[in-house]
């Protein structure tokens, strides 16, 4: 049956220039390259200096618009997943729309779902497109996590990085089958009973400060493998496709052992699993659009490929998206 699909017609990413290596970190806290590499798979991460989340977002969005062959005035909606907005309010999306000169009057808002922020943002944008409320959407995942990292805490400071990724979605008529291009299925979840397993310790209504990342690493790790696998399985089943039909698994880039665990659980061959955590670290809501854009830009992910995206983060929140590029 004919239906509206949200097709990814543009992709972009941006990483701030400063690179922080494991050796650099070993001079700041009691750690070393061997521990970080074997426990997390991370080698380097990028750190924003003098650039805000909106600045990174604008750079990633400019690239996405260029790849789409569109102007910012063609955009009907801007939605950003982030936990590190420039101000408590307004949204970073509103700021981006002003900085880029978007059409006046278009809806702009942020989605607060931590590392699942981009998956949530993409789902909301997809739903608005399928309802016919907007035709063309700019969806961003962007973070300057370096602002909420305690640089004296070796348990967390080695894990995170800054960056941004963006996609342009456009409404396209589909046949309602899994052969359509565009987003084929989405599924979001949360479990608030795990609120204290991973959080940033500040807040407007509590400390009146931004705070620092606090994490029960083992708890998050255990949960992440199951949640990312569950969300991936759900969207594949919903669209009536099997693991064999899928070209790429793109899980949230937090830790190579989590990524490998999900690949293994789903029965996905290693060479079909996208890994960028080694050179980005965990960039929270930016991790998926960064990895997607990088893989599309390099030609790894091609037109027509079927990609399973899965995300998991604080809340806990998690979710899956099945998309044919």
Sites of contact with ligand UT7 (CB under 6 A): 31, 35-36, 39-40, 115, 154-155, 158, 198, 217-218, 220-221, 224, 252, 254-255, 258, 282, 313
Angle between the N-to-C axes of helices 117-130 and 287-297, in degrees from 0 to 180, rounded to the nearest 10? 70
Distances (CA, A) of 307 to 6, 28, 182, 320: 14, 38, 10, 10
Query: What minimum distance in Å lies between the beta carbon of 314 and ligand UT7?
Result: 7
Which of 77/114 has CB closer to ligand UT7? 114
User: Does residue 282 have an active-site annotation?
Assistant: yes
Cα–Cα distance, 224 to 215 (Å, whole number): 13
Which of 4/19 has CB closer to ligand UT7? 19
Q: What DSSP character marks residue 299?
A: T
Active-site residue, selected from the candidate residues 13, 115, 157, 280: 115
Active-site residue, selected from the candidate residues 13, 22, 157, 252: 252
Query: What minimum distance in Å lies between the beta carbon of 234 and ligand UT7?
Result: 19
94 near 154, Cβ under 8 Å?
no
Cα–Cα distance, 63 to 27 (Å, whole number): 35
Which of 130/154 has CB closer to ligand UT7? 154
Query: What minimum distance in Å lies between the beta carbon of 179 and ligand UT7?
Result: 33
Query: What minimum distance in Å lies between the beta carbon of 221 and ligand UT7?
Result: 4
User: Does residue 3 have an active-site annotation?
Assistant: no
Which of 74/219 has CB closer to ligand UT7? 219
94 near 131, Cβ under 8 Å?
no
Q: Which two tokens stand for residue 182?
A: 């565009």
Cα–Cα distance, 166 to 168 (Å, whole number): 7
Active-site residue, selected from the candidate residues 13, 46, 255, 282: 282
Q: What DSSP character marks residue 194?
A: G
Q: Which two tokens stand for residue 100?
A: 């880029």
Query: What minimum distance in Å lies between the beta carbon of 211 and ligand UT7?
Result: 16
User: Which residues in 82-239 belong to E strands, given as ranges?
Assistant: 108-111, 136-144, 162-174, 182-190, 198-200, 213-215
93 near 54, Cβ under 8 Å?
no
Q: What DSSP character marks residue 102?
A: P
Q: How many CB atoms lie within 10 A of CB 303?
A: 9
Cα–Cα distance, 181 to 112 (Å, whole number): 28
Query: What minimum distance in Å lies between the beta carbon of 197 and ligand UT7?
Result: 9
Which of 94/140 has CB closer to ligand UT7? 140
Please give the residue whose beta carbon sits closest to ligand UT7 in the complex. Answer: 217
292 near 286, Cβ under 8 Å?
no
User: Does residue 255 have an active-site annotation?
Assistant: no
**Residues assigned a catalytic role:** 115, 252, 282
């Amino acid at each position: 049956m004919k239906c509206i699909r949200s097709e990814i017609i543009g992709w972009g990413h941006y990483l701030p220039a400063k690179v922080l290596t494991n050796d650099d970190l070993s001079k700041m806290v009691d750690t070393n390259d061997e521990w970080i590499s074997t426990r997390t798979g991370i080698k380097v991460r990028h750190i924003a200096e003098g650039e805000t989340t909106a600045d990174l977002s604008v750079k990633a969005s400019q690239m996405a618009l260029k790849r789409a062959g569109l102007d910012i005035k063609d955009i009907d909606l801007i939605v950003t997943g982030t936990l590190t907005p420039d101000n408590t309010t307004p949204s970073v999306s509103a700021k981006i729309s002003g900085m880029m000169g978007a059409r006046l009057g278009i809806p702009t808002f942020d989605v607060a779902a931590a590392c699942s922020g981009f998956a949530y943002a993409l789902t909301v944008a997809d739903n608005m497109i399928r309802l016919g409320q907007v035709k063309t959407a700019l969806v961003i995942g962007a973070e300057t996590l370096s602002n909420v990292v305690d640089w004296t805490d070796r348990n967390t400071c080695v894990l995170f990085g800054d960056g941004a990724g963006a996609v342009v979605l456009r409404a396209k008529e589909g046949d309602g089958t899994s052969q359509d291009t565009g987003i084929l299925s989405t599924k979001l979840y949360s479990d608030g009973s795990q609120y204290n397993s991973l959080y940033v310790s500040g807040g407007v209504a509590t400390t009146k400060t931004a705070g620092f990342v606090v994490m029960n690493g083992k708890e998050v790790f255990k949960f992440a493998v199951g949640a990312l696998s569950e969300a991936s399985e759900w969207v594949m089943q919903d669209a009536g496709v099997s693991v064999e039909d899928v070209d790429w698994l793109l899980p949230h880039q937090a830790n190579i052992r989590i990524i490998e665990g999900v690949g293994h659980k789903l029965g996905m061959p290693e060479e079909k699993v996208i890994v960028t955590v080694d050179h980005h670290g965990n960039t929270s809501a930016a991790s998926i659009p960064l990895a997607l854009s990088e893989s599309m830009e390099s030609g790894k992910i091609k037109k027509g490929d079927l990609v399973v995206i899965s995300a998991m983060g604080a809340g806990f929140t998690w979710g899956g998206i099945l998309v044919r590029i």
